[in-house]
Structure formats: structure tokens, C-alpha cells
Structure 1
């Protein structure tokens, strides 16, 4: 497994060297430190670091905050701000780029390690959540596909009247009187459906939209009478508007 590559951006070379030494002792790969915005961007382009430690205050017009903004815009990897006695304006500017972690000078090797691991972990979680959100935007949310005679058939949730479990199969009963047999568990299919589907018996899930009558021990859907289990009736009542 490759070591985590870390870029240190610090204009005081003694401090930069000390940080790099500590990083190597902790098992990371410390890249040659940069002392300015221009050097930092050059290192990023050449070395492709996994994470950067950025001193907020740098000599020159551009600061560590400017580097952080560029990383967020163009390079997309985590960074840690390194600071000592920054004024409130600088700290507020730093907050705007949402660093995954901070390091306050002076700091111990243990604090350095903790900040790096927190930053990597936080970034990984945020990045995964964004990917999941992006993936979810392409998911069809009102239908699923079932395998049928060598092809895949799209079934809209609104077309399903009810589902009946039959050992390792589930029967799908549709509005147009079609029935399909799917080799899945009832729990698996229920987890793919939306809130209009309610389990009313161990072997039955119904689309509450199509319930025309609720009896003492059954419901009527499209002229079919489906039994209600005692333990499930309370859940069903929550979905029924009584007047």
C-alpha cells in the first residue's frame, strides 16, 4: 500500500522541515515543502499529494487560504490549516473554505497525526456522500425492473395493486390484471418500494391507494380479498383517513 503523500506549505523553513521530519516518523511521505502560492501549485501539479498542510499566513500577496480555494476548485483533496495567532478576520476567511481540520502552533506529533487522520476521514465521508447523492439523482424512483422471459420489464409502482409471497418467489399483481413471479424475498422488494406500500400480513404487501374497503380481518383491493394479520392492522390504520 502506498504511503499517504503530504505537501507542507510553510514559509518558515525550519518549521517546514520539522513538520516533514515528524511526518516521515509517523509513516507518511513528506513531499518537498513549498513556501509560496506559486510553489505550492507547482508541487500539486507535479506530485499529486493526498493532503496538504497549509500555513494560513504566507509571505507574499497570496495566503494559505488562497491555496485552499484553488485546491477546492481544481484539485479536490483535503487540506489542514496551520495557524498561530491569526486575527478574527483571517480565521473567518479560513472558515469559508471549510477545512476538514486545523493545527494550532505549537503542536505535538500526536496532534499532527490526529489532525491528518481526521481530515482524511472527514473528506472521505463528505466525498462519498456527494457521490451517493450524484448517483441517486439518476435512480428511477417510481419504478423498478423485473426479469421476464429473457428481457427486463419496467414495473411502475402505481401499477402494483399488491404483492404476495410464495416461498422463494413473490407474485406481483398489477392493475391491468397481469401477474408476474419474481424470485426475491418480500422484504427485498418492499425495501425498493415507497411509502404507499404497507405490509398487512406476513405474506402480503398492499398498495394502500387501491384499498376500497377495510373489513375486520381483510381488505378489498380490485375485488380481491386479502387477509390482515393482527400484528399488522395497527400499521395499516395509520394510512387510512377516518372521518
Structure 2
């Protein structure tokens, strides 16, 4: 899948669709598909190329945006934003019950759309890391699998990072540095907090300041590991645990 964030638009008004599409592409997002009803939306979601969905609450057909939101939450595990021309109390209550990651009222401006997606992706990151979301309640998520991915902010956009591509993580005071290939991302998380979300069969804390992806380890020394020519120390207290993670001949 592409590192560019892919957005599904579920909307049956052509002018609104064009406005959303143009605005999203202007700020660097990709459109994974455009659907007029729930059936079309599910077909696009089944392709697995969507990172976030924008849902009109009042789409055509028997299954409205509320129904689709519940299905996305149960089966696809991606964030979604509601788009509606109605902002009455009853409509808002129905929307909130599905625990959306954003709510956008028509008519909207380009910056409103961008901000809604920015906030939704930020909240989704928090959702993955077991922190409190700015929605109805705190939701706890199980550790991610190696096939999963996270969103990490880079400049003004969130990049999709596959868990398997993370090489190692280093603690720096109140931040962590996440190394992916030749790039480094800085996040405001504790090392132990971050470790709880990682696939436990693939990541291991080898030092009070380091977590490594065991699949990325190239060499093992007396008291260090090598990942892409980077020496990473491991403590004597964790040596036995580290040895169990690898096969030696």
C-alpha cells in the first residue's frame, strides 16, 4: 500500500464530491474511491486501500451513513468522519453513538476539511496507543500485529508506517525516536507505553533506552546488536530474554 493517506468519499451529491476530491488532492491525500451508497462503499473498503473514510450521514439507499459507520468500526478498523448538512441534536446524538473521529457540517471550507482529517488521524493514533480519545469514552486497543500500520505525523500530514518496517525505537527524555529505514520520526510517548502496542513476538526491549524489531537484527555481539550498521546496546539483565528470541547454531 502507498504511504500517502488514502481517503474514501461516501457522498451522493456530485458538487460536494468534486469539492472534497479537489481539496483533498490539493493537500496531498489520495482518493481510494468514491461511493454513492453503502454497497459501493463496502466494495471499495474490501480492496484494502482506504485509510480514512468521509461519510455523508444521509446517503441514498436503505443503509445510511450511520449503518455504514458501524460496519466500518466493526469490520475495517479505520477512522471515519461524518459529513452532513444537519446539525440538530438528534442527528448529532446518533452520530456520536458510533464514536466517529470527526464531524463536518456542510457547507465547509477547505481548511475545515483538512483540519477534520488532521484531527481524526491524530485521534486514531491515540486510539492505537491506548490513550484517551476526545470522543465519548476511553477505548483500549489490543497490541498491533506485525501486518498492521500506524500513522506518524511528518510536517503537515500523517504518513502510514507498516509495523514490520520499524527497525528500532530509542528513548530520548519524554520522547521516542522511531527509526524506519533511513528516516527518524520523533513522537511524544514513553518507551514502555509504546512497547505495549507493538507485536510482542517481533519487538523486544533490549535496554532501558531501546526497543528493536528482531527481524531487523543483522548481527549479535557480546553486548550489542547491529541493525543497518547501527550498534544498539543490550543490558545483561535482558540477555537471557534476548537469546530466546533468536536461533543460534
TM class by shorter chain equals: 0.5 to 0.7
Tell me what 2:28 maps to: 27
| Aligned partners of 2:104 and 2:113 also within 8 Å | yes
Alignment of 1:55-74 (within 5 A): 55-74=56-75
Tell me what 2:39 maps to: 38
**Is the partner of 2:9 in helix, strand or coil?**
strand
CA displacement, residues 8-66 of structure 1 (integer Å, 9 cap, x when unaligned): 00011221121011110010001331000100001111243000000111122111111
Gap runs ≥5 in structure 2: 131-140, 144-192, 201-234, 238-249
Tell me what 2:95 maps to: 94
Pairwise CA distance, 1:88: 2.9
CA displacement, residues 132-165 of structure 1 (integer Å, 9 cap, x when unaligned): 69959xx9xxxxxxxxxxxxxxxxxxxxxxxxxx
Tell me what 1:82 maps to: 83
Alignment of 1:220-231 (within 5 A): none
TM-score by length of 2: 0.52
Pairwise CA distance, 1:86: 4.4
TM-score by length of 1: 0.53
More helix by percentage: 1
Pairwise CA distance, 1:128: 1.5
Change over 3 Å in CA distance of 1:127–1:11 after alignment to 2: same
Gap runs ≥5 in structure 1: 140-181, 185-243
Distance 1:79 1:116 in 2: 9
Pick the structure with greater CA Rg: 1
Distance 1:7 1:50 in 2: 8
| Aligned partners of 2:7 and 2:33 also within 8 Å | no
**Aligned-residue CA RMSD (Å):** 2.4
CA displacement, residues 50-99 of structure 1 (integer Å, 9 cap, x when unaligned): 00000111122111111110011000000000011244322211110111
User: Which has the larger displacement, 84-93 or 48-57?
Assistant: 84-93
Alignment of 1:1-243 (within 5 A): 2-129=3-130, 130-131=141-142, 135=196
Change over 3 Å in CA distance of 1:86–1:60 after alignment to 2: farther
Change over 3 Å in CA distance of 1:183–1:44 after alignment to 2: closer
CA displacement, residues 155-191 of structure 1 (integer Å, 9 cap, x when unaligned): xxxxxxxxxxxxxxxxxxxxxxxxxxx967xxxxxxx
